[in-house]
Amino acid sequence: MQQRWRGVGKLYLRRWGWLARHRWERTPIGVRFAFTLTIVFMALLAPWICFSLFYLNAALSAQARLNQMRQAQVTELIIERELLSILRHGEDYSVWNDAREAVLQRDLKWLHTNTVEWLTQHFYYDVVAVLQTGSRTLVSNTPDNRWLVNLPLVQDALKGVGNAGLVRRDGAIYLLSATPICDEEWAHPPVGALVLAKALNRAQLDQISEQIGNRVVLTLHTDTEGIVPTLTEPQGDVIVLRNPSGTPIAALKVESPLSETLLTLELKRTAKNYVVGVSIAIALLASLVLVWFLRVYITRFLTAIQRLASGDWDARVPYAARDEFGFLARTFNTMAMQLQHVFEEQERQREEIQAQNEELQMLYQQLQTAHQELAQLNQELTEANQLLAQAAVTDGLTGLKNHRAFQESLNSLVQMAERHKQPLSLIMLDIDHFKEFNDRFGHPAGDELLRQVAEVLRQSGRAYDVAARYGGEEFALLLPNTTLEQAVQVAERLRSQISAIQNPYAPVSASLGVASYRFGTAPATLLYEADAALYRAKRNGRNRVCVYQPEAA
């Protein structure tokens, strides 16, 4: 029975094999040739496709790892920049004669007000502590400061060397700086140290994540002794955080967002489809080229037939095979007529191609015109960007510098005054009763008054003075290389000129506060002192000039 079924199977195989061979032999040679070539080319291209997809996937993966490594490096730079910023803050408030005297005289009230409370409220430090030589804490914003005393950074600061670094405490990472408290000339040894610290919390990590575009996760690996023995040098997307002595204390991991991962997968899928599609297209194109070559050989047959049709009876087509070409050789008289139709069709196609070439020339001219228009639009866009950059630093109503430009000028002039030891003064100006004026006569009248006051500042100031609209009805005038007495004279002149403004609605007056930069202080201190003097002028009856007095602040 089994042998019978085997015999039936062999019979069916022979029958289907004969039918397939018969059908293949009846298929036109052009179709057979194209099909065979396509199969051969696809078989030859298969290794290339696999090789290309493998290395494309490896390249995309390597690129993703490289991006994460770069973002990890950027994260390290951000942390180092934050440490430098904390160190600069510490140096600004520790290298100060007043702070040194306060530590020597144990003026805890002064230290608490001007150092601890000021830094906590304005810079949001988690730890602000002033230590006296001998590792004794004078003032602090935290109750427990014993752990600060034994830190190498703090001990170095008490010896006169300030530095910043990462410190681990109670499961948290702190960005900490310790700077020696000494006089501004460094003429005496330090009398203590100023310690500033910020916790590397979730909010700061979110800010770092927003800057680099990826999520940053803080990981604390510890054993029973509080050490991190498993962390090595940073690899890929992991950043090892170390304390100043070089001991690993934590790790930051840069995690790619889901959208980036999905985009990488989409790129791989698109690249795969592209490679496969191009490979198939190449195989088909190569097959068609070879088929076209075969048709060129057929043209030789047709040429011989044309010669015969034109009267050259000796023309023959030497072809011995008994296939379609042999049939063509035996029926050349009929094919001669068809060949004539083919030539006419080719002539018509040539004319169509010529017409298409003319249309392409017209399209090329249109493209050239569009390119010129695009260049003109690009120039207009450049000019618009320049106007936009100017508007970003200019107040739209008064034409003076805006608040942002004033802050940049203040920082720059303070640095210049500090470098060259030149005086720098600031006048803060506020229009008296401007709100009542605005409510009574309307916003257009108020805007016109602001422009009049701005024009007085613009006309009265020197070429290198910085006049700005600080906000609302408040103006500011920075006076480089100007002493406090000279600034008071300028302020009195401004007050008189503002009082002389011919306003059709009501008399105009202004209150002015004057302060001079004290070397070694922060730019914000000059702004605070001038503003305090301004408000004292307003409290004392307005329409007057007041100079900053520390005891009245």
Is the per-residue pLDDT at 289 higher than 90? no
Range of the domain at 313: 282-376
- Based on its alpha-carbon atoms, the radius of gyration of the chain, rounded to whole angstroms, reads 43
Average pLDDT score over the chain: 77
Give the number of other Cβ atoms within 10 Å of residue 514's Cβ: 29
pLDDT at 478: 94
- Please write the tens of the pLDDT for every residue from 413-458: 999 999 999 999 999 999 999 899 988 888 898 889 889 999 999 8
pLDDT at 1: 56
Do 86 and 164 touch, CB atoms closer than 8 A?
yes
* 3-state secondary structure at position 472: coil
DSSP assignment, residue 551? Answer: G
Do 432 and 360 fall into the same domain?
A: no
Mean pLDDT score, 90-100? 80
Tokens of 257: 């967002």
For 336-341, the CB contacts below 8 A with 24+ separation are 336/305, 336/306, 336/308, 336/309, 339/302, 339/305, 339/306, 339/309
Q: Which residues contact 387 (CB under 8 A, 6 or more apart)?
A: none
- What Å distances lie between residue 469 and 36, 194, 384, 441, CA to CA? 82, 36, 24, 22
Residue 546 phi/psi, 5-degree rounding, is -125, 145
The predicted model scores a pTM of 0.41
Give the number of other Cβ atoms within 10 Å of residue 545's Cβ: 23
Do 435 and 545 fall into the same domain?
A: yes
Task: Kindly state whether residue 239 falls inside one of the protein's structural domains.
Answer: yes
Is the per-residue pLDDT at 224 higher than 50? no
Domain final residue pick, 360, 376, 392: 376
Please report the DSSP string for 244-280 in residue order: TTS-EEEEEEEE--HHHHHHHHHHHHHHHHHHHHHHH
Please give the residue that has the higher pLDDT: either 319 or 456: 456
Least confident of 216-225, 328-337, 377-386, 427-436: 216-225
Please give the residue that has the higher pLDDT: either 532 or 375: 532
Do 170 and 236 fall into the same domain?
A: yes
Chain position carrying tokens 């916003």: 443
DSSP assignment, residue 26? Answer: H
Angle 258-309/332-392 helices, nearest 10 degrees? 150
Do 216 and 153 fall into the same domain?
A: yes
Is the per-residue pLDDT at 312 higher than 70? no
- Please write the tens of the pLDDT for every residue from 199-214: 877 766 666 666 665 5
Is the per-residue pLDDT at 198 higher than 60? yes
Q: What is the C-alpha separation between 157 and 108, in angstroms, rounded?
A: 20
- Residue 495 maps to which CATH number? 3.30.70.270
> Which percentage of the chain shows pLDDT scores above 70?
68
Do 204 and 250 fall into the same domain?
A: yes
Do 167 and 315 fall into the same domain?
A: no
pLDDT at 497: 93
Do 217 and 72 fall into the same domain?
A: yes
Task: Kindly state whether residue 192 falls inside one of the protein's structural domains.
Answer: yes
Task: Kindly state whether residue 455 falls inside one of the protein's structural domains.
Answer: yes
pLDDT at 391: 56
Do 288 and 253 fall into the same domain?
A: no
Task: Kindly state whether residue 243 falls inside one of the protein's structural domains.
Answer: yes
* 3-state secondary structure at position 513: strand
Task: Kindly state whether residue 381 falls inside one of the protein's structural domains.
Answer: no
Domain final residue pick, 227, 259, 291: 259
Q: Is 475 left (phi over 0), alpha (psi -120 to 50) or beta?
A: beta
Do 94 and 140 fall into the same domain?
A: yes
Mean pLDDT score, 160-177? 84
Task: Kindly state whether residue 507 falls inside one of the protein's structural domains.
Answer: yes
Least confident of 75-89, 173-187, 377-391, 511-525: 377-391
pLDDT at 308: 61
Is the per-residue pLDDT at 118 higher than 80? yes
Do 225 and 367 fall into the same domain?
A: no
Count: domains in the chain: 3
Domain final residue pick, 194, 226, 259: 259
Do 184 and 304 fall into the same domain?
A: no
pLDDT at 211: 63
The closest alpha carbon to 193, from 117, 113, 127, 123, belongs to 127
Is the per-residue pLDDT at 514 higher than 90? yes
Do 326 and 462 fall into the same domain?
A: no
Q: What is the C-alpha separation between 415 and 413, in angstroms, rounded?
A: 5
pLDDT at 540: 92
pLDDT at 233: 44
Q: Give whichever of 75-84, 310-319, 376-385, 388-397 has the largest mean pLDDT.
A: 75-84
Is the per-residue pLDDT at 491 higher than 90? yes
* 3-state secondary structure at position 127: strand
Do 437 and 446 touch, CB atoms closer than 8 A?
yes
- Residue 153 maps to which CATH number? 3.30.450.20
- Please write the tens of the pLDDT for every residue from 26-37: 666 666 666 676
- Please write the tens of the pLDDT for every residue from 358-403: 888 888 888 787 778 777 877 876 676 666 666 566 888 888 898 8
Q: What is the C-alpha separation between 163 and 153, in angstroms, rounded?
A: 6
- Please write the tens of the pLDDT for every residue from 179-189: 888 887 777 78
Task: Kindly state whether residue 338 falls inside one of the protein's structural domains.
Answer: yes
**Which helix (H) or strand (E) covers residue 107, if one does?**
none
Is the per-residue pLDDT at 223 higher than 60? no
pLDDT at 490: 94
Tokens of 272: 């795969």
Pairing, β 248-255 against β 172-181: unpaired
Please give the residue that has the higher pLDDT: either 514 or 112: 514
Mean pLDDT score, 223-237? 44
Task: Kindly state whether residue 107 falls inside one of the protein's structural domains.
Answer: yes
